[in-house]
Amino acid sequence: MNGEATAINPEVPPSGDGCVECLAESTWWWHLRRCAQCGHVGCCDSSPQQHASKHARELGHPIARSFEPGERWFWNYATGEFLRGPQLMPPDSRPVEQGAPAPKALVPPDWRSQLHSPPPDETAEGD
C-alpha cells in the first residue's frame, strides 16, 4: 500500500493533450495513459511506440490512469493489476474531439495493422 500511495500524486496536472514522446517524434498513438505520479501523458501498449509503459519502467512510476474520455481506471504496470485511485488534478482526459488514433494528420491508412495486440488493460472496461 505504501508503494501505491507514493506512486499516486493527485496534485499533479497532466503534462498535456497527447503523448509527450509521440508529439516530440511526430508519431501517432492509439490511446493515452497518464502517469499518476508525475502527470506524464504517454501512449498505451496497443500504440506502436508504447511510451506509457516505457515511462513506467524507466522512471519507476508504476501506476497510470487512463487519459481517455470516460475512463477512470488506474493500472499498475508493476503488478499488472487494475486499482482504484483518487480524483486527480483535471483535466481528466484528453479532449474528446482529438479522437483516436491521433494526431489525425499523422495516422497512416493502415494504422490498425500497426497496433500491438491488446494487453488486458486495453480490453477491459474498468469502471
Indicate the residue type of 19: C
In angstroms, the CA 116 to CA 13 distance is 28
Residue among 31 and 61 whose Cβ is closer to Zn ion: 61
User: Smallest distance, Å, CB 106 to Zn ion?
Assistant: 11
Sole binder of Zn ion in the list 8, 14, 18, 22 (CB under 5 A): 22
Sole binder of Zn ion in the list 7, 8, 43, 102 (CB under 5 A): 43
- H/E element, 64: strand 63-66
Task: Write out the three cell numbers for 103.
Answer: 494526431
Handedness of CA 12, 101, 85, 90 (dihedral sign): positive
Residue among 38 and 69 whose Cβ is closer to Zn ion: 38
Sole binder of Zn ion in the list 8, 14, 18, 19 (CB under 5 A): 19
8 makes contact with Zn ion (CB under 5 A): no
- Identify the CA nearest to 48 among candidates 114, 118, 103: 114
Residue among 44 and 125 whose Cβ is closer to Zn ion: 44
108-127 residues near Zn ion, rule: CB under 5 A: none
* DSSP alpha helix (H) spans, 8-123: 20-25, 51-59, 111-114, 120-123
Residue among 16 and 80 whose Cβ is closer to Zn ion: 16
Site for Zn ion, rule CB under 5 A: 19, 21-22, 29, 35, 37-38, 40, 43, 49, 51, 61
